[in-house]
Amino acid sequence: MESRVMSSELWNAVAVVVVTFIGYQILNKVLWRGIWTPLRLRRIMVKQGVRGPPFRFPFGQVLEFVTFMNSFPEVVPLDSYADLSPTVTPQYALYYPQFPGAKYFLYWWGKTTRLCVRDPEIAKEVFINNHAHLKCAHLGDTYLMKGLIGRGLVALMGEKWSTERRAINPFFHQDALKGMVEAMVEGTATEIQKWEQIVAQAGGSAEIDIEADMHKISGRILSLTAFGTDSEKGFQVYETQTELAKEYYQMLRGVGFWIIPRYSDIPLKSHRHMRQMAKKIDTLLHEILDGRLEAVRKGVTNSYGNDLLGRMLTSAADGWSEGSPDFNLQSVIENSKLFYFAGQDTVANASLFTMLMLTLHPEWQDRARAEVMEVVGDEESFDASVLSRLKVVGMVVNETMRTFTIAPTMVRLTGKDLQLKNLFIPEGVVVEFSTNAVHQDKEYWGEDAAEFKPERFANGVAAACSHPQAFVPFGLGPKICIGNNFAMMELKIIVSKVLRRFQLLPSPNYKHHPCNVVVTRPKYGLPIILKAL
């Protein structure tokens, strides 16, 4: 009898602990983080005159965005590039018109409070003057995002970020990039030769959806420049990462991701598969690193290689701790994943939209091709001096990146209270720089901002617009994309190699519907007609 009483008391105690724990979680996560904090931040911003839609628990404005985007037809108009916003950044299309003249507004992505800014001066104060106090604001599950982009430069802050940036910077200086041109040219060969065969078999002209091939070109270029002699295994990293990204994007489109806490931890078949792919990426990278470390250790070679991976290994300290302040072997793994994902996804989509613009503006296609034939001639190789002389190609690429901003928003979480000249931003607010909106703002680009006019960049980026922070395709400030020069070289090479072989014509089967899944991309691929020259 006494034992039963003790057992009952024990179970009652356990029940009290469990209920208390659950109650705490509800109080902390639902009431405090989900309701009180967003409302407190809203009060602070409203007192300063910052307007926005009302806070809605628990989704914020997310469902409104989805409804708004789904209201558009499968094919959206292509006569004005200012109309890009509704299907890529619906928050701008919805709320900037509601607050005429406003340079910022407040909205909620779930329980996260976001200050959306289209003022380059505020962007300068936040992203340049206060960059040390900003944290990366990633979407989604930490483990899967780590599998995609790693815990490299983009996720770091403070001294760890400074250490890794200093260690990696030399790999992207112009002198180092000059040695990568040949590998970039080689990386374009397979897909372009495939197109030539398809076009020849079709009698000189064929329609090809180039989306997948552009990603392969970019992935192969990264494999050759980053992994050199290990490029085949590096390409496996690219293919696995691409597959993981597709499934991850599909998960983002589901309602479950936004309403169920730790949704990706649920052991669904697709979630298990994504984790297996993330593990495979780690395994492949470790195999590549271990092979190079072992070769030097055994004296087979006295160098880790002259590619990006070899240069990072040469600078890296021993150790695999993510928490280490040093740039170590784990840093090499994490940044390798970052360069692969960021490099191939951004450049591939920038290439796609550049090809689209060349089909729609044949006068610029002709000018760019004439320049390529004059500067490059019939040679099959490029060098850095050739690339620097491709002014028209550079103008077309820059205008495309303005018109179709690949990274349409730049978001950072404030790690402390920020007092700007005319605005106080409390800790916990995510600052979202409206890159896409600024790139289309008539105040900085003129009345023809909605038109495709590469001549804006005839005298360089600085003269193209009225504010230095109004054109930021690679970000701004100390945390600007470290691979921006690499990306521009790659884009010039891809465009030049395609123009030397084909005339690009618009396809009647192209469905124009740019969308934003991590980066701006064509929703239904990019079929174009390639005609042999």
Per-residue pLDDT of the chain (533 residues; tens, 9 = 90+): 555 545 666 666 666 566 666 565 555 556 777 888 999 999 999 999 999 999 998 889 988 998 998 899 999 988 777 666 789 999 999 999 999 888 999 999 888 999 999 999 999 999 999 988 888 765 555 567 777 778 788 778 788 888 888 888 888 888 888 888 889 999 999 999 999 999 999 999 999 999 999 999 998 998 898 888 788 888 888 889 888 888 887 887 676 776 676 778 888 898 999 999 999 999 999 999 999 999 998 888 888 888 888 889 998 988 888 888 899 999 999 898 888 877 878 999 999 999 999 999 999 999 999 999 999 876 666 778 889 899 999 999 999 999 999 999 999 999 899 999 899 999 999 999 999 999 999 999 999 999 999 999 999 999 999 999 999 999 988 888 888 999 999 999 999 999 999 999 999 999 999 998 878 999 999 999 999 99
CATH, range 1-139+408-472: 3.30.43.20
Give the global pTM: 0.90
Domain extents in the chain: 1-139+408-472
Which residue from 56, 307, 298 is spatially nearest to 172, judged by alpha carbons? Answer: 307
Pair of tokens at residue 217: 């070109």
- CB atoms closer than 10 angstroms to residue 240: 20
Residue ranges of the alpha helices (H) in 202-316? 211-227, 231-253, 255-259, 269-297, 308-315
526 and 356 Cβ atoms separated by less than 8 Å: yes
| Number of helices (H), then strands (E), in the chain | 22, 12
Q: Is 481 annotated as a binding residue?
A: yes
Rounded Cα–Cα distance for residues 435 and 314 (Å): 36
